[in-house]
A and B are shown apart, each in its own frame.
Chain A
Amino acid sequence: MSALFRLTVTETKLFFREPMGVFFALAFPPILLVILGSVPSMRHADPALGGLRVIDLYAPIVVVMAIAMFAVNGLPQLLGTYREKGILRRMRTTPVKPGLVLAAQLLMATALSVSTMVVILAIGRLAFQVHLPSQLAGYVIAYVLAALAMFAIGLLVASVASSGKAAGAIGTVLFFPTMFFAGLWVPRASMPDVLRRISDFTPLGAGVQSLQDAAGGHWPQLLHVAVMLGWVVVAGGLAARYFRWE
């Protein structure tokens, strides 16, 4: 346990030594929420959105964005680089398994993205009167499933990429469509039916809707839970099958 603790502390220190990574993973999602919330029209209740305001829709979107920053932007590049440099291979010569690096990364990413979520919820509540999740258990389940699905995809990218650079590039390319279907540019409620249908089957489309449902006091829909679980199983299974330590 002490090795895992040491590794998590060390990986966290290393994370905070990359200012760009810190900015995009921790600061950018809350800043985006503040910017959107500053636009007056975002704060007007819209009957077309069932009486919700656009800012209410964006809170879960920036929450999943914080997950995506870690899962597809950070993790694949880091693991790819560690593999390229023989860091994971060196760990194989020690009593701990290189898988512990992965565990440390997941612990760190989970702790940091959960704290970003708390910050986002707090800013939303205090600055823009966005209601805190009324169905808390549903919210937590939706959050955990969305995070697992995204980390599974990130690990799959790390498995298939030939180098750290390639993993970073693939991750960045994946980031945009997943965030598009999460509703970053057009929230799901305003999407045409076809797009929203596609979005239902993407990990963050399902994630955002589940968070939105839980925020409004409902349990996540079965379809979305199944979609997220499906991504966890398929991407996670492929990653486990193809992941190489060296």
Chain B
Amino acid sequence: MAIIEVENLVKKYGGHTAVDGVGFAVEPGEIFGILGPNGAGKTTTVECVEGLRSPNSGRIRVCGIDPQSGDGELRQVLGAQLQESELPDKLRVGEALELYSSFYRQPADWRELVEVLSLGDKVRTRFKALSGGQKQRLSIALALIGSPRVAVLDELTTGLDPQARRDVWELIEQIRDRGVTILLVTHFMAEAERLCDRLAVIDAGKVVAIDTPAGLVSRVDDRQRIRFRPSGPLDHAVLTALPEVDSVERAGSQLVVTGTGDLLLAVTTVLARERVTAADLRVEQTTLDDAFVALTGRRIES
């Protein structure tokens, strides 16, 4: 039985339909990702799940609770980490955790939580003096302080340096190991690939695909990418004329040829005919990035 159910969710802002019929189901203990470019409707979708916004239509259940029911039960089982939400500058880490634990019926032990989140030596530090990574960890701690069954984490590694990002990823896996189901919003491919058991790819308010990261990649398995540096000028048209070739892009001094079928043979044959040699030639495997482009027709980060 799914712990989060979303069916036919529609949310409009004025004349603009931000979320247009989104549906997915998250199983207990999963890390479920919502992946999509900025403005795709990811945040609006999870804000409806969190009960912060009321949808125009559709059905949502979190642990069987309707987020719109307003009796506060949802708040006891769902912890949310919001994008860009701060705390008072002079509030200390320990004070914030103590305060937020007083809001819940069965709070987690915040002293243990700070240890898990490596904030143990920051208990007396004021919010303002924390680094970006520490603020994010505190934000996660506040999302978990009520011992929720579901945690919704929205773009939580945005703005973090690569090391801090990897630390947060490790942390999320630990949290899942504690039995918390996680709904993760992201526009980072690497994050989705590393963390998520399953993903919903959202574009322009609609779900384009729901699958495991490997499953998404295998849907576009026959796509390949060849990257090389041509020894001389080469008219792209001779390559794009090939039935195997989908696109030719220039990346600095390199050409990137994407296509299907026996792409390598077709391309090298043309190069030989044009008397161009291919230096640093590499054939790249399909990644989640490619799967995303195939599914939505564009890149997620540009």
Contact = CB atoms under 8 A, between A and B. Distances in A.
Given A3-B103, A6-B98, A10-B99, A93 B88 contact: no
B80 interface: yes
A47 B98 CA distance: 59
A95 B98 CA distance: 15
A138 to B, nearest CB: 39
Contact of B75 (A2, A13, A86, A94): A94
Nearest to B142: A90
Contact of A87 (B80, B85, B98, B103): B85
Given A14-B88, A82-B88, A85-B86, A94 B103 contact: yes
B51 to A, nearest CB: 8
A94 B104 contact: yes
B84 A10 contact: no
Contacts of A82: 88
Contacts of A14: 88, 90-91
B88 A86 contact: no
Interface string B76-100: 1011101011111011000100111
Contacts of A2: 102
A17 to B, nearest CB: 4
B279 to A, nearest CB: 52
Chain B residues touching A, majority SS: loop
A87 B146 contact: no
Contacts of A18: 90
B64 interface: no
Nearest to B83: A86
A85 B85 contact: yes
A92 interface: yes
Grouping DSSP codes into helix (H, G, I), strand (E, B) and loop, the A interface class, with mixed when no group exceeds half, is helix
B20 interface: no
Nearest to A84: B86
Contact of B76 (A5, A6, A10, A95): A95
Contacts of B87: 85, 87, 90
A10 B75 CA distance: 22
A92 B142 CA distance: 13
A213 B301 CA distance: 70
Contacts of A34: none
A32 to B, nearest CB: 27
Nearest to B100: A94
22 contacts: A5-B102, A6-B99, A13-B95, A18-B90, A82-B88, A85-B86, A85-B87, A85-B88, A86-B85, A87-B85, A89-B82, A93-B78, A93-B80, A93-B82, A94-B100, A94-B103, A94-B104, A94-B146, A95-B72, A95-B75, A95-B146, A96-B103
Given A86-B82, A95-B72, A95-B105, 9 more contacts: A6-B99, A10-B91, A14-B91, A17-B90, A93-B52, A93-B143, A94-B75, A94-B100, A96-B103
Interface of B: 50, 52, 72, 75-76, 78-80, 82, 84-88, 90-91, 95, 98-100, 102-105, 142-143, 146
User: What are the 8 tightest A-B residue pairs by CB atom distance, in nearest-first order?
Assistant: A86-B85, A93-B80, A6-B102, A85-B86, A95-B75, A90-B85, A17-B90, A94-B103
